[in-house]
Structure 1
Amino acid sequence: MKDVYTFVAKNDNTIVDCDSYLLASEEEACGMANNIIGSYLEINKAVNTIEIFKYDNNKFSFIGTYTEYKK
């Protein structure tokens, strides 16, 4: 069964954008977070963090934070 995962794109503590996807697992959600942050970096939009939430039974549960890797 698939669940709704919401991704909040942030630059430092400022929310830049958010979107939701129907995904099969938390692992798939982490992969999606990687794709999302990569897309923002390609268009040079200032995003350095993606927060992942799972919607379950009328509430959002925080799953984790995906942060841009800096060399």
Structure 2
Amino acid sequence: MKKSKFSEHQIFNILKEYESGKATKDICREHGTSAATFYQWKQKYGGMDAQHLKELKVLQEENARLKRIIRN
């Protein structure tokens, strides 16, 4: 899977722009993303705050570590 050029914090900030009332097409044009990517981000990260984002990152790292242990 291709790694995103945007970090979770950048995605979080982009979604905050949307929540503040900025149009989706303007956000996508400004950041160079497609509308489909934006809506995938919205589905995955929508409604999160900074604390939830940190918890998600920790869980993803732990999950990756456990998968490496199982594969070896």
The answer to whether TM tops 0.5 is no
Q: Which has the higher contact order (CA 8 A, sep 6+)?
A: 1
Larger Rg: 1 or 2?
2
